[in-house]
Amino acid sequence: MKQRTLGTGLTVSEIGLGCMSLTGAYGTTGGPAREDAIALIRRAVSLGVTFFDTAEVYGPFSNEDIVGEALEPVRDQVRIATKFGFAFAENGVEPGGLCSRPDSIRRAVEHSLCRLRTDHIDLYYQHRVDPAVPIEDVAGTVKGLIEDGKVLHFGLSEAAAATVRRAHAVQPVTAVQSEYSMWWRDREQDTIPVLAELGIGLVPYSPLGKGFLTGTIDATTTFADSDFRGDTPRFQGEALAANLALVEVLNRIAAQTGSTPAQLALTWLLNQQPWIVPIPGTKRLQRLEENTAATAVELTADQLADLRAAADQTRIVGARYPETLDAMTNRDAPLPATENADYRQ
């Protein structure tokens, strides 16, 4: 698989693997059996994937442990990204909600290193921006971890443009992870131009629209009571029916090219910028092989233009998250000033 560079020095496969679903996601009660999850990760390695995304909160904790066991034999061949920023007792704070206090970050990295069976984390993201802690303090803490050799690169997840600028001024940001796909493009209006300006990579999660862009969801689809998509405006009723116009275009071009809708959605992302590396997640070997094969899809100029036109012209209806989840999204609004910080390195 071809390689891409995030920021100024993190080189990874042009498609990575999001591992969240291996321990349950979107309201499911759990992932595959541990041995199957490990086998899937190792199959990804054999397919050329070198970039694996996890987080302490996935599970929580068990996801990092599975990723660590799976990749231990090939650790020198791969790059692991994980995340901090939620409150856990093991990190010295009362559980619940967000916490990016410097002391908590320093405890979190030690636990993540242990679970991942490694002496360094290639890319360490703040999982969600903590409004109680100045971003400069967060960046400064990760800078110290980089100086100690425990972390190689700093990342932010779901961070808005102003937050990225402030963090980057303290410790260069290598990558920003954000939802980005043909059916959620809001970051094109704020964050992505800043990433281009500062030389920061973009790692889109949910590049297949939480399954919507695979072509497996239609107007008759129902979701389990535990599946949050059933409460998400974008997947409901008239909004879902309207949004299927985008999938119809994917289906048409897929039939012309011998590819799948999912592969086309990933191809669209890869054609946006050379510093974009999507991380589709799956629990199934067939889907893993389908997703990684997207790197071999070749489109004519007309087909690529059709994809771009479909993305530009289709009006996507409905919010991408239920209100409670969307509340954690960082937007360009005042954050606490450094001089008022309660937490210091």
Cβ(125)–Cβ(81) below 8 Å: yes
Smallest CA-to-CA distance from 81 within 30, 133, 7, 166 is with 7
What per-residue confidence (pLDDT) applies to 339? 37
In degrees, rounded to 5, the angle at the alpha carbon of residue 26 between the alpha carbons of residues 18 and 281 is 20
pLDDT at 250: 96
* The pLDDT of residue 304: 92
Q: Tokens 């990723």 — which residue?
A: 67
Q: Strand (E) positions, 40-89? A: 51-53, 79-84
Closest of 54, 59, 73 to residue 16, by C-alpha: 54
Contact of 145 with 138, CB cutoff 8 Å? no
Query: Mutual orientation of helices 301-313 and 237-257 as an angle, nearest 10°?
Result: 180
Q: What is the pLDDT of residue 323?
A: 74
**135 phi and psi angles, rounded to 5 deg:** -65, -25
- Output the tens digit of pLDDT for each of the chain's 345 residues: 999 999 999 999 999 999 999 998 655 557 999 999 999 999 999 999 999 999 999 999 999 999 999 999 999 999 999 999 999 999 999 999 999 999 999 999 999 999 999 999 999 999 999 999 999 999 999 999 999 999 999 999 999 999 999 999 999 999 999 999 999 999 999 999 999 999 999 999 999 999 999 999 998 898 888 888 988 999 999 999 999 999 999 999 999 999 999 999 999 999 999 999 999 999 999 999 999 999 999 999 999 999 999 999 988 999 987 776 766 677 765 444 443 333 222
Residue 327's pLDDT is 64
Per-residue pLDDT at 28:
56
Q: Is 58 a catalytic residue?
A: yes
Q: What is the pLDDT of residue 329?
A: 73
Catalytic residue among 58, 125, 180, 205: 58
pLDDT on residue 98: 97
Count the residues in the chain.
345
Q: Which domains does the chain have, with CATH numbers?
A: 13-327 (3.20.20.100)
Tokens of 44: 């990804």
- CA Rg value for the chain: 19
From CA 325, how far away is CA 318, in angstroms rounded?
14
